[in-house]
Amino acid sequence: MMTEDQLKQHISQRAKEILPEMIAFRRHLHQFPELSFEEYNTSSFIKEFLKKNNVSFSDRWVRTGVVAEFGNLINYGSTVALRADIDALPIEEENDIPYKSKNIGVMHACGHDVHTTCLMGALLILNSINIEWQNRMIGIFQPGEEKLPGGAQLMIAEGLLEKYNPKAIFGLHVLPQMDAGYLGLCPGQSMASSDEIYITITGKGGHGAMPHLAIDPILISSKIISGIQEIVSRNADPMIPSVLSFGKINSVGGATNIIPQEVKIEGTFRTMDETWRQKAHEKIVEYITNTAQASGGTATIDIKKGYPCLVNSDSEFAYGEEKLKNYLSDKFVQRIPPRMTSEDFAYYSQAIPALFFRLGTGNKSLNKTSPVHTSTFDIDETALETGMGAMAYLAACKML
């Protein structure tokens, strides 16, 4: 039997020892990034590495997803899950580094190479501990985080949670604004839901000089765009963050002297509460329909639902904060505010107790400070030691 303290000693020492090997692993992924749902070589590379280290797995989840199986695989009491996303972005890398992307126009600009490496490193570390685990761990290498409908939702739809029945799930994401060595945790509602809104306003085209014979969809659109903000300012609970932004507006036809027949508007709605999210969708449709009708026009509204809100459960937040502080010391585990960006880890968090936390990867002196989704994003690679150790320790304490 091993105590949590002995586990911690072993894990932090092993994380240090395998860092060079895992840096090489990450650099390979970084050089050969693949777009969402096309991660075939990445998937093969992950499977080869698991085989080499005698870790069993199931594969072909959403074609390229891999689920490593570890610990007590026969008489396990429960299962804990670690998750990493494996896809890259359509960005041309502009870093001048020896491990620069070799796939033109594709780059690991959101750090998913780092997440994959942290999960693989955690498996390697746990694999080196010679004890009989009570419980099972699964390592989810998930495709397609960056592209709707998202790999998480698709893996769940393929039966991931029924097959393995994990009681808790942990995932991490790089945060270049935080220095390497630190972790950031946000309790409760941590990331926003994200929905796309497509509106078509139909009026009646006509001559600009004879508006009385037309129904002007431009005027209707302007009323909707300025008025609909009252859903955020008057209907949303002031304590629940909500954002409604329109990023595109086009008339179909129209000119200085022509009132067009139609106007198309596109926007995004984000919030931090699932109940309010559903209610807001109804309010948005109602407001647009009524405003168009009041001026004699009609509206069709299509709301494409994106990822849901990401909620860190009370139980796993408390567990994670305590264990990570124990692993790294209080100083290196900080509380951070919620973000209005979204992430498909949210689907797991809607289904089972979950904790999604941030891995500091920034370093001002190394000039590693570019935000994610930029062509100059890169990390201080010492963050890998922190990330894989943290993942390993969170899982190990659940498997004792």
Residues that bind Zn ion (CB under 5 A): 110
Specify the residue, 99 or 356, whose C-beta has the smaller distance to Zn ion.
356
Phi (first) and psi of residue 137, to 5 degrees: -125, 140
Which residue number is nearest to Zn ion in terms of Cβ?
110
In this structure, are residues 84 and 174 in contact, taking their beta carbons and an 8 Å threshold? Answer: no
Binning the chain into helix, strand and coil, the percentages to the nearest 5 are 40, 30, 35
79: amino acid identity, one letter: T
146 or 216, CB closer to Zn ion?
A: 146
User: Which of residues 171 and 217 has its CB atom nearest to Zn ion in the complex?
Assistant: 171
Question: Nearer Cβ to Zn ion, position 36 or 291?
Answer: 36
Q: Does residue 306 contact residue 317 with C-beta atoms inside 8 Å? A: no
- CB of 8 closer than 8 Å to CB of 393: yes
**Least gap, CB of 373 to Zn ion (angstroms):** 6
Q: Which is nearer to Zn ion, 170 or 319 (CB)?
A: 170
Q: Considering the complex, what minimum distance in angstroms separates the CB of residue 55 from Zn ion?
A: 24
CB of 73 vs Zn ion, minimal distance in Å: 30
How far apart, in whole angstroms, are the C-alpha atoms of residue 317 and residue 174? 18
Choose between 110 and 126: whose C-beta lies nearer to Zn ion.
110
Q: How far is the CB of 341 from Zn ion (least distance, A)?
A: 8
Q: Please name which of 120, 138, 101 lies closest in space to residue 27, comparing C-alpha atoms.
A: 101
Min. distance of Cβ 360 from Zn ion in angstroms? 15
| Least CB distance to Zn ion at residue 92 (A) | 16
Residue 58 · residue 67 · CB < 8 Å: yes
Name 362's Cβ contacts closer than 8 Å, sequence gap at least 6: 175, 176, 177, 178, 179, 180, 368, 369, 379, 380
Q: How many residues belong to the chain?
A: 400
